[in-house]
């Protein structure tokens, strides 16, 4: 599974970001995508298959069980980066999609409502 994590990493920098092409593959593979926006934002459209765990009441303990990294996303990357730091501090594997839902849409990504 570590190979899959390495495959997801975009820049591989300290923030552990996933690039758009890797995000497309992760969505297709069913990798857990955790959207940390507030419920009203999530309801207005989200990346297909994403689960809403709002940052305002976020806890890494609420993440679904998974034998690899989860991907965290918000609107533009700030909140998902905060959640990423919490998740990694709790000892879980995670990356974040820094362009966020806004970047996903701008790149032609489909959304669900």
Instruction: Determine the pLDDT at residue 68.
Output: 84
Domains of the chain: 2-106 (3.40.250.10)
Instruction: Determine the pLDDT at residue 66.
Output: 85
> Would you state the structure tokens that stand for residue 33, as one six-digit string?
């995508």
pLDDT averaged over consecutive 10-residue blocks of the chain (113 residues)?
A: 44 69 90 96 96 97 90 95 94 93 94 92
Nearest to 24 by CA among 104, 102, 112: 104
> Would you state the structure tokens that stand for residue 77, as one six-digit string?
């990357």
3 state SS for 28-72: HHCCCEEECCCHHHHHCCECCCCEECCHHHCCHHHCCCCCCCEEE
Instruction: Determine the pLDDT at residue 48.
Output: 93
Instruction: Determine the pLDDT at residue 15.
Output: 53
Instruction: Determine the pLDDT at residue 92.
Output: 92
């Amino acid at each position: 599974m570590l190979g899959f994590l390495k495959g997801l990493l975009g820049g591989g920098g300290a923030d552990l970001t996933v690039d758009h092409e890797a995000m497309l593959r992760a969505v297709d593979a069913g990798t857990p995508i955790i959207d940390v926006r507030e419920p009203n934002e999530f309801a207005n459209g989200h990346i297909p298959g994403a689960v809403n765990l709002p940052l305002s009441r976020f806890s890494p303990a609420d993440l679904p069980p998974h034998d690899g990294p989860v991907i965290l996303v918000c609107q533009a990357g700030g909140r998902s980066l905060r959640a990423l730091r919490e998740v990694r501090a709790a000892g879980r594997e995670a990356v974040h999609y820094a362009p966020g839902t806004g970047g996903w849409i701008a790149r032609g990504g489909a959304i669900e409502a």
